Structure 1
Amino acid sequence: MKKNSIKTVILLCVFSIVLFTGARASAQILTKNRLIVVTDIGNEPDDFMSMIRLMLYSNQIDIEGLIASTSVHQSTKVSPELIKKVVYAYAKVQPNLLKHEPGFPSAEKLLGLIKKGLPVYGMEGVGKGKDSEGSEWIIQMLEKKDSRPLWIAVWGGPNTLAQALWKIKETRSETAAKRLISKLRVYTISDQDNTGPWIRRNFPDLFYIASPGNYYNATWSAINRVFSGANNEVISNDWLEKNVQEGHGPLGAIYPDVAWGMEGDTPSWLMLIPNGLNEPERPNWGGWGGRYEYYKPAYDPKVKWIVPLEEETRPFWTNAEDSFKPYKAGKWGLALVKDTATYKGNHVTLWRWREDFQNDFAARMTWCHKNYKDANHPPVVKLSTPERITVKSGGTFSLDGSASYDPDGDGLSYLWFQYPEAGTSNKSVIIFPENISAYNDLKAPEVDSPQTVHIILKVTDKGMPRLSRYKRVIVTILPK
């Protein structure tokens, strides 16, 4: 072999090793969440809207099924053709999306994931002989050799999921059934048929997030309702027309006008986006999809709803409250100042992030038709201090996010704040001013027993629209 040929082979080997190592490192940094959607799409425009938004995050979430189902609002038909309509529009913009981030799946792959549940209501679709391609697909994906949990986001009635669970229980050994069910993570948009309570009653170990009862009281409803203290402009019809519907390519062109509410189903998967804040396995830590705590909801037999309510038999993840004081831009002096009002409630856990996730949506809509240099991309948040810190009561620790950067070269704004409800301590770590990149000698509060404090770093770029990413630092405080 000639000397030049040997050199070429060596260079190729080194290049291959670098590529392999880089790919491996990326996989370690970003482990995608697996997701199957069960949707009563066609009932009203909001499922269709949520499906459009989901396409824009299909490179950050492993979509493994899109199942058309029924609900109390659409009890005798399923509409897989509407899912296909969204995917066909996505096919036209997928090449442009790949200019901005890698990993957007082909339309052909997504079309192969579209399945149908039975066109019947609730428990009519559960039992012997009630299998559907949707319920069988859920079981097939559960049995796939993949150690990651499988999230099921139910936008309508969950009877397709209920049938899959019924069959697992009937046809698998107790050990096998327990193993499969332990891999499931379910978020239902309230109860939209009578199988939700049946699932919770018959599968007490199933990981389940829901706000049973009146939609108005549900955490997810905060995505599209007007609240004092929230940025309501970013859910207005004018904002949607400007940032989504008009001049943003084929996906925007089919985004319908609001009927009852904008994207009521989107909160079921917002927590799966890897933004540095979301921790889907920890619903009580809070994130873009809201915050939830594990308990058995109270039952009032006097309350009536479109789906009959019944007393719950076990705890699950449901509505939790945050107490939140928003920040606003300061005209002089401090760039960020706290509002004078404090807002409290379960809806707060979601709408507090509304401006961030709506801006993110708007940016990705521009990716559908603009080149990389003409669009905005989220900043990269990097800490020079650990994400897990242990300190003794009254001791000091440091926080440093100054290594963060923006891929577009935009300037950055920093905001550090404690998320009290996510930790176990009700005592505060004093961070002031909150908008600088690093701190030395922050003092841990005095505690009598081991406690945790969650501190969030939010980094926002100065592009248009302004995009935010986060890091969560968990400080464990030990008594002296």
Structure 2
Amino acid sequence: MSTLNSYHQIFGDAVRATGAQSNTEMMRLLPIMTISMALLACVPALSFAEPKQRLIVLTDIEADPDDSQSLVRLLLYANQIDIEGIVATTSTHQKSRVAPESIHAIIDAYGRVQPQLLKHEPGFPKPARLKAVVRSGRQLYGMLGVGDGKDSPGSDAIIKALEKNDTRPLWVAVWGGANTLAQALYRIGRDRTPEQAAHLVSKLRVYTISDQDDSGIWMRTRFPELFYIVSPGGYGNGTWTGMHTIEPGFDSTEVSNDWIATNIQQGHGPLGAIYPDVSFSVEGDTPSFLSLIPNGLNAPEHPDWGGWGGRYELYTPALETTDPKGFTGNVPLLQEPRAIWTNAVDTYTPMVNSDYFRSVRAHDKVFTGYRTTIMRWRKDFQNDFAARMDWTTKPYKEANHPPVVKLGHSDRLTIKSGENFVMSAAGSSDPDGDSLSYLWFQYPEAGSYREPIKLGYAENHHTVSGQAPVVTKTETAHFIVKVVDKGRPALTRYRRVIVTLVPSAP
């Protein structure tokens, strides 16, 4: 379809979305809608090529089977994330040993399916390249492993990655203890000039699964500018628990043992077979890299925008709000000295399928909390995991692949108070030829304007309209279009549209 015809289609949908009941009403709306569409037509759709995120993982693998589970999943995205290191570490649950051999065993299983994965998407690295970046930290617990003479291949690898001539930030996902990262920072602080150290620290992005040794609070105190995502305190305070939390009324099918056995472990080749049964929780470490996956929703540099790995806000949490009497694995709990990226609250009403008429309706229950910031996407990212596991054994034509979401306009719109605006994903497609479903919704917590903005027409149509509220200062409102194919498992991709609301001229 030509660009002009596309805009004609969007225009027609937009006019109908306003609720015009007659030709007279449509003619009255024509000047407004024509101007709106002309403005949109002048703005080219942004290209949607996201740079790969760089990642080093610190894992206390073998302290709990969930590290092995998370590593299996991570390797299925090894073509979309630049994995620059996988470091075996200690933690409060495994204080005096590291297990790099378990990392190698999982990479070996990946190696047996890597040629098959390449039939579905390019870029999956050879197993030898992944094995070459496996390292170990010190077999010491917490701050006992930080200081002069405490370097390790793992801490050296972090410093080398930071000094690499690469403008992209370096993410460090901490699944266990963080002392290998702390040692790298100790060396940087000791051996570099203040300017050099500040530059290297500015490249770091840290996401830890709670504090599993006593080095986390040291880093956050010693390096106040360090970008740090964490839910400090008791594990019950962890946003990451939304990965596996079971709440009454919330569909948790995709984290059940039966679902895991059917969709991941059994009949899915050597990589699925090495995925262990749940002992404590399902993949508690996985949220640390979920938001690095390019899916149209995730925005790693903006934790407050929300994504598959949760949503976080920058503030200094009070000690009494961090579950101080909960389980911490005997890691000392202290008052945070400065603002960190930590727990944020979403209010979420799931949409459920309708048997007749409009295909979806709002659930009769609303879910609120910090776990909700992950739970709300769980069905989507679990189905994505299952589809990629299918790729390890199925030919392209027998597997499902995610849809491609295309906006008919920029993903940044500026609208004056009271003006109408239109958003469309009518040009979206599916590589397998599957039928697509659409869902548009506002994400109030991600923007500065928190009041609901009603979207006209049907929220499950590819094109919707809205009217900007009256504002007295510039505000932002985030809208998400969720596009789901009808393959099995159903796969989801998104686009985020940020609308800047500006006051009308006096």
**TM-score with structure 2 setting the length:** 0.88
> Aligned pair 1:299/2:319, yes or no?
yes
> Aligned pair 1:186/2:206, yes or no?
yes
- 2:382 corresponding residue in structure 1: 358
- Corresponding residue to 2:366 among 342, 346, 358: 342
How far apart are the structure 2 equivalents of 1:352 and 1:292? 14
How do 1:389-428 and structure 2 match up within 5 A? 389-428=413-452
How far apart are the structure 2 equivalents of 1:451 and 1:144? 38
Conserved? CA contact 1:427–1:445, under 8 Å: no
Give the drift of 1:272: 0.1
How far apart are the structure 1 equivalents of 2:350 and 2:282? 23
- 2:263 corresponding residue in structure 1: 243
How do 1:38-53 and structure 2 match up within 5 A? 38-53=58-73
How do 1:458-473 and structure 2 match up within 5 A? 458-473=482-497
How do 1:125-164 and structure 2 match up within 5 A? 125-164=145-184
Conserved? CA contact 2:324–2:333, under 8 Å: no
> Aligned pair 1:378/2:394, yes or no?
no
How far apart are the structure 1 equivalents of 2:48 and 2:299? 16
- 2:412 corresponding residue in structure 1: 388
Conserved? CA contact 1:385–1:398, under 8 Å: no
Give the drift of 1:302: 6.4
Deviations 1:214-267 (A, max 9, x none): 112210011012123432110000000000000000001111110001100000
Most deviating of 128-137 and 226-235? 226-235
How far apart are the structure 2 equivalents of 1:30 and 1:261? 32
- 1:439 corresponding residue in structure 2: 464
Deviations 1:194-233 (A, max 9, x none): 0011010101000000001111221001101212343211
- 1:175 corresponding residue in structure 2: 195
Conserved? CA contact 1:231–1:354, under 8 Å: no
- Aligned partner of residue 471 in structure 2, secondary structure: coil
- Aligned partner of residue 453 in structure 1, secondary structure: strand
Conserved? CA contact 1:230–1:352, under 8 Å: no
- 1:19 corresponding residue in structure 2: none
How far apart are the structure 2 equivalents of 1:395 and 1:347? 36
- Specify whether residues 302 and 452 from structure 1 end up closer, same or farther in structure 2 by C-alpha distance, changes over 3 A only: closer
How do 1:22-101 and structure 2 match up within 5 A? 29-101=49-121
Conserved? CA contact 1:188–1:210, under 8 Å: yes
How far apart are the structure 1 equivalents of 2:78 and 2:251? 26
Gapped runs of 5+ residues in structure 1?
Answer: 1-25
- The residue type paired with residue 99 of structure 2 is S
Percent of pairs with identical residues: 55
- 2:306 corresponding residue in structure 1: 286
Give the drift of 1:328: 0.2
How far apart are the structure 1 equivalents of 2:444 and 2:483? 19
How far apart are the structure 2 equivalents of 1:55 and 1:339? 35
Most deviating of 229-238 and 315-324? 229-238
> Aligned pair 1:115/2:140, yes or no?
no
- Aligned partner of residue 255 in structure 1, secondary structure: coil
- Corresponding residue to 1:270 among 283, 290, 300: 290
- Aligned partner of residue 319 in structure 2, secondary structure: coil
- 1:212 corresponding residue in structure 2: 232
Conserved? CA contact 1:118–1:132, under 8 Å: yes
Give the drift of 1:435: 0.1
- 1:457 corresponding residue in structure 2: 481
Give the drift of 1:100: 0.2
- Specify whether residues 354 and 145 from structure 1 end up closer, same or farther in structure 2 by C-alpha distance, changes over 3 A only: same
Moved over 6 A (4+): none
- 2:9 corresponding residue in structure 1: none
Deviations 1:129-171 (A, max 9, x none): 0000000000000000000000000000000000000000000
- Corresponding residue to 2:242 among 222, 225, 231: 222
Deviations 1:80-122 (A, max 9, x none): 0000000000000000000000000000000000000000000
Give the drift of 1:299: 1.0
How far apart are the structure 1 equivalents of 2:131 and 2:313? 36
How far apart are the structure 2 equivalents of 1:288 and 1:87? 24
Conserved? CA contact 1:229–1:343, under 8 Å: no
Conserved? CA contact 2:245–2:371, under 8 Å: no
Gapped runs of 5+ residues in structure 2?
Answer: 1-45
Give the drift of 1:385: 1.6
Deviations 1:362-419 (A, max 9, x none): 0000000100000000000000121000010011111110100000000000000000
- Specify whether residues 354 and 302 from structure 1 end up closer, same or farther in structure 2 by C-alpha distance, changes over 3 A only: closer
How far apart are the structure 2 equivalents of 1:286 and 1:186? 16
How far apart are the structure 1 equivalents of 2:127 and 2:380? 28
What is the Cα-based RMSD across aligned positions, in Å? 1.3
Conserved? CA contact 2:345–2:373, under 8 Å: yes
- The residue type paired with residue 303 of structure 1 is K
- Aligned partner of residue 29 in structure 1, secondary structure: coil
- The residue type paired with residue 325 of structure 1 is T
Give the drift of 1:28: 7.5
How far apart are the structure 2 equivalents of 1:414 and 1:28? 19
- Specify whether residues 28 and 285 from structure 1 end up closer, same or farther in structure 2 by C-alpha distance, changes over 3 A only: closer
- 1:16 corresponding residue in structure 2: none
Give the drift of 1:324: 0.6
How far apart are the structure 1 equivalents of 2:460 and 2:429? 15
**TM-score with structure 1 setting the length:** 0.93
